[in-house]
Each structure stands twice: as structure tokens, then as C-alpha cells.
Amino acid sequence: MAGNRQVTASSVAQGYSIVGSFVVSGYIMFFGPAHQSIKPFLGMLMGIMFITCMSVCWFVKEEVYTPAVKANTKELLWDAFSALYVGVRKLPKVLAIYCVIFLILEYAYTAYNGAKGQFFGIRVKDGIADNADTCGKEGKPACTDRQKAYNDGVQLASGVTDTIFNLVGLVFLALMPWLVRKIGAKWVIVIACIPQVLLIIMAFCKIVAIDIILVVLTTISQNTIFGLQLPIIVFEIGLTPDNNLGMFAGAFNSANCAGQFLNFILASQLVKTSMTFALPVLVGGILSVIALIIAIFFLKLDMKTM
């Protein structure tokens, strides 16, 4: 549908995703950490999911693609279950390299994002999480200074910081089609790796303002790596009806999941060290350096379409 303006279309779609994120960050910014009002928070999420999903079901009219030669049911089932393996195995070289960069950057970002409340609440604010979700409520002891510090850190990370993160992300997405046209997708990706390299600094920094700036800058990395995903796939495989776009997109989704999954496995061990929640962030920054090197020297991509 987007024709030769894939980057513009993807930027718009990514922008809508950010609008949804505003709901969560806005709630936390105004009402405090979600763990202090979990039922209203989950109720809000359920309501939004219902409204958005039902809107799509009601208003979007899909024209089902009918192949020239209809496959039998067994072949369709086999293709469905083998699509992930086939998609990864058949990735063109450029897409395979981009997929590796994607996986690394998602691991690195999840290293921070998966424990941002603890990072700000415990590491930066020197708070304590024990009973911080129940203190001060009816029948419970008042919150200690360290429990208050922890809750303030969680609200700062998921409220104010995420809201600024989303605002900067929207501005960047508005500029991304122009940047791709001017310097090419390869160098946009290279530049986008740099903010996550700065996670190395953040792992050792306890100055709130600097940490917020470093987190906000990673919106460039995340919106680039997600926003250019489909445009690069389409650029490499073309726009024919049977280009297996869904299969290759599924391979990238698997890379995203793999990066997050690896972080969940490793972070549970890394936080047990003396650096606690700072060590996963440090590892994420170091891995982002690897992604940067791969993008500079191995990503052979000459794409300047908007």
C-alpha cells in the first residue's frame, strides 16, 4: 500500500505505537508506580486493548490474498510450522546481518527497560523495594525514606522518563524519512547504535539528569531499528504478492523475542553481583558496541528511499 514510501509509512505506524505508550507513561507519571494501584492500571490496559482491537475488527476490511495455485491443507500446515525456520535460513545476507544487529540491540535495550524501575529506584535513588508496594496503605506501616526513594525512582523511570522518551521518539520518526533520503538507511542505523553504546556510561552514573538524557537518547536506537525493519525487508525482496514478506517479518520478530529472552535468562544472574541492576545495563552497552561495529563494516545497504 505504501509503494516507494515505505519508510514514511513505517514511521507513521511506529508513531501510533508510541501514542499507545503515552497512556502507560502518563498514568504512572500522574498516579504513581503501577504496583501501587495495580487493579485500576490493569483495568485501563484491558479497556484500551478492547477498544483498539474491536475498532480494527469493525472498521478494517481485509482483502485475502488468493494464490494462483491453491495448496492443500497438509502443505499449508507444514508451511505454517516451518515458516520460522525457513524464514531465518532463507534470509538474504543483508537482512541476516540486520537481523543480528536487531537481536543485539533488543537484548541491550531490554537489559535496561526490563528493570528500569529497579535501576532508578535501587541503583540511582538508593531505595529499597521490600514492601514498597504496600507501605503507607491502610493497616500498613508508613513508608520509610528508602521505600519512598524506591517508589520515586520507579515513577521517574516509567513516568517522566518514558514520556520524554516517547515525545523525542515522535520527533525523530518525523525526521527519519528525510534522514534516510539524505544519508541512507545504513548510516541512519549506524548513528542509531551510538545512543545504546552510551548505556556503558549510564551503568556507572548516579546523576538523575544524565541518566534520563541517556535513556531518552535510546529512543533513536529503538525507533530506528523497528521503523526500518519492514522498509528494508521490502527493499531487499521487492513488492510482489508472493514475496514471503510475512515469513521474513516473522524472522525479525523472532530476533526481537530472542533478544528479550536472552536478557531474561542472563539478567537474573547478573543482578546478583555487587553492581546489581547496573551490570545488565553495562553488558547491554558493550553488546551495542558490537552491533555498531557490525553495522559499520558488514551491513552493505544502499537504501535512500523515503
Residue 153 and residue 121: Cα distance in Å, rounded? 4
Mind spelling out the 3-state secondary structure of 154-202? HHHHHHHHHHHHHHHHHHHHHHHHHHHHHHCHHHHHHHHHHHHHCHHHH
Mean pLDDT of 193-219: 96
End-to-end CA distance of the chain: 14
Mean pLDDT lowest among 70-79, 150-159, 214-223? 70-79
Do the Cβ atoms of 156 and 33 come closer than 8 Å? no
pLDDT of residue 30: 84
Residue 284 and residue 199: Cα distance in Å, rounded? 7
Please report, for the chain, the start and end positions of each structural domain, with discontinuous segments joined by +: 6-297
- Please determine, for residue 58, whether its predicted confidence score (pLDDT) is greater than 80: yes
CA 3 to chain centre: 26
Tell which wins on pLDDT, 261 or 286.
286
pLDDT of residue 84: 59
pLDDT of residue 67: 66
Q: Is pTM beyond 0.75 here? A: yes
Residue 107, H or E segment: helix 93-113
252, 187, 250: which is closest to 220 by C-alpha? 187
- Please, which pLDDT band fits residue 65 given cuts at 50, 70 and 90? low
Residue 293 dihedral angles phi and psi, to the nearest 5°: -65, -45
Q: How many Cα neighbours within 13 Å face the side chain of 106? A: 21
According to CATH, the topology of domain 6-297 is Growth Hormone; Chain: A; (1.20.1250)
